[in-house]
Amino acid sequence: MKLIKHAGKDVIALLLIAVMLTGLAPVAFAAGEGSFCLFVATTSQTIIAPTRIDYTVGQTIQEALDASGYSFVRHGTFIDLIEGMEGSYEIVYDGGGYDLSQPASDITALIISENQTAAEEHLELLRYMVQYNEMTNHVQNYQPAKTAYSSALNALQIGNAAVAVERLNQLQESVASYEELLGGTKYPVVVTASQNGAALTNPVLTLTDTYGNVTTVTGTTAEVVAGTYTVSVSDGNWNRAERTVSVSGRTPLSFDLPYGEWFGEISLIDQSTREVYEKDQNSSAHTLTVQVPDSAGLTNPIVNAAPGSGLPGTDAKLYGVYTGTNGTDYSNTAKA
């Protein structure tokens, strides 16, 4: 359920889907612009995890920090508070520099911490950690890499140069191991799909691995490396079936997709007042647009969905997919 804010009203759009449950990018800048890597911590707490700070033409390091959206409170040349956290902060960037009035274009990495042993080895580790965070192959969900990254954070906070080198090697090795895993032998997942007694010759197959990588094909066969997958098969429209499978060789699967109109009239009701909100239901497009007054505040709405004429059986259950305006799926988040 996606909530879109408009003046005076909140528009809630519901995508209604008939479901049967069966089971590093380059960074480009204009001339004179760029970025540097930043890490901020005390000896006991990470304040700003490894991230990239953009700067514009002619900005100093301090000006780039001030424009970053993070809070830096200074007393003269010293930084007293960062994001509201006090600390005895030391500054180090490329070449052992510490003067924040220098051009931002002169540096590639900056550490502000209480680690008095921070050196070039830590800056090299920081640069790679930012690259790691920006990788788009979901390596961040690979447990050995997650462990190595956590250890690398600790090295930035309190480790000496030797520890920083060791943790960099560990993180790089875990990434290489993950990339080797993704580049392994691929096996065919062969799907036989039917709907209302007829075979589907061009279903849409979507296979999602445990790390979040998605393979989508139109047809009956997809090739993936060994692993555990959520396999979703759809007719290309609103109907789909899915299950979790383990792939270690050629994997044949059969799916019987739902069909027909599963939804009748649908309403969104105020939990406190039982008011039925104004709505526009488009059954052919499988959408429901509801006008919720801003005065409703934080009241939890109730979805009342009548069964449609095509719903098979009487034991069907309604499953809600709640997607935030940021694109995040909150379906498994506890609703209070």
Q: Which pLDDT tens digits describe the chain residue by residue (336 residues)?
A: 333 333 333 443 444 433 333 334 455 554 458 999 999 999 889 999 999 999 999 999 999 999 999 999 988 778 889 999 999 999 999 999 999 999 999 999 999 999 888 899 999 999 999 999 999 999 999 999 999 999 999 999 988 999 999 999 999 999 999 999 999 999 999 999 999 999 999 999 999 999 999 999 999 999 999 999 999 999 998 899 999 999 999 999 999 999 888 888 998 888 888 888 899 998 888 888 988 877 665 567 788 888 887 777 667 777 677 777 777 777 666 544
Q: Does 122 reside within a domain?
A: yes
- Rounded to whole angstroms, the Cα distance separating 180 from 123 reads 27
- Rounded to whole angstroms, the Cα distance separating 186 from 199 reads 26
Q: What is the residue range of 221's domain?
A: 186-257
Which H or E run contains 109?
strand 109-113
Residue 97 sits in the same domain as residue 65: yes
Residue 56 sits in the same domain as residue 169: yes
pTM (2 d.p.)? 0.77
Residue 204 sits in the same domain as residue 325: no
Residue 313 sits in the same domain as residue 327: yes
Last residue of a domain, one of 233, 257, 281: 257
Residue 250 sits in the same domain as residue 326: no
Last residue of a domain, one of 257, 272, 305: 257
Contact in structure between 36 and 105 (CB atoms under 8 Å): no
Residue 158 sits in the same domain as residue 59: yes
Residue 265 sits in the same domain as residue 249: no
**Both tokens assigned to 54:** 């953009």
Contact in structure between 255 and 193 (CB atoms under 8 Å): yes
The dihedrals phi and psi of 100, each to the nearest 5 degrees, come to -80, -5
Residue 269 sits in the same domain as residue 246: no
- Rounded to whole angstroms, the Cα distance separating 225 from 184 reads 6
Q: Does 25 reside within a domain?
A: no
- Rounded to whole angstroms, the Cα distance separating 53 from 207 reads 35
What's the helix, strand, coil split of the chain in %, to 5? 20, 40, 40
Q: Does 172 reside within a domain?
A: yes
Residue 66 sits in the same domain as residue 150: yes
CATH number at residue 214: 2.60.40.10
Last residue of a domain, one of 209, 224, 257: 257
Q: Does 29 reside within a domain?
A: no
**Count of domains observed in the chain:** 3
Sheet holding 214-218, edge to edge: 19-21, 240-247, 227-234, 204-209, 214-218
Residue 174 sits in the same domain as residue 190: no
Q: Does 28 reside within a domain?
A: no
Per DSSP, 67 falls in state T
Contact in structure between 105 and 32 (CB atoms under 8 Å): yes
Residue 168 sits in the same domain as residue 128: yes
Residue 86 sits in the same domain as residue 60: yes
Query: Amino acid identity of 249?
Result: G
Q: Does 26 reside within a domain?
A: no
CA 156 to mean position of chain CA atoms: 25
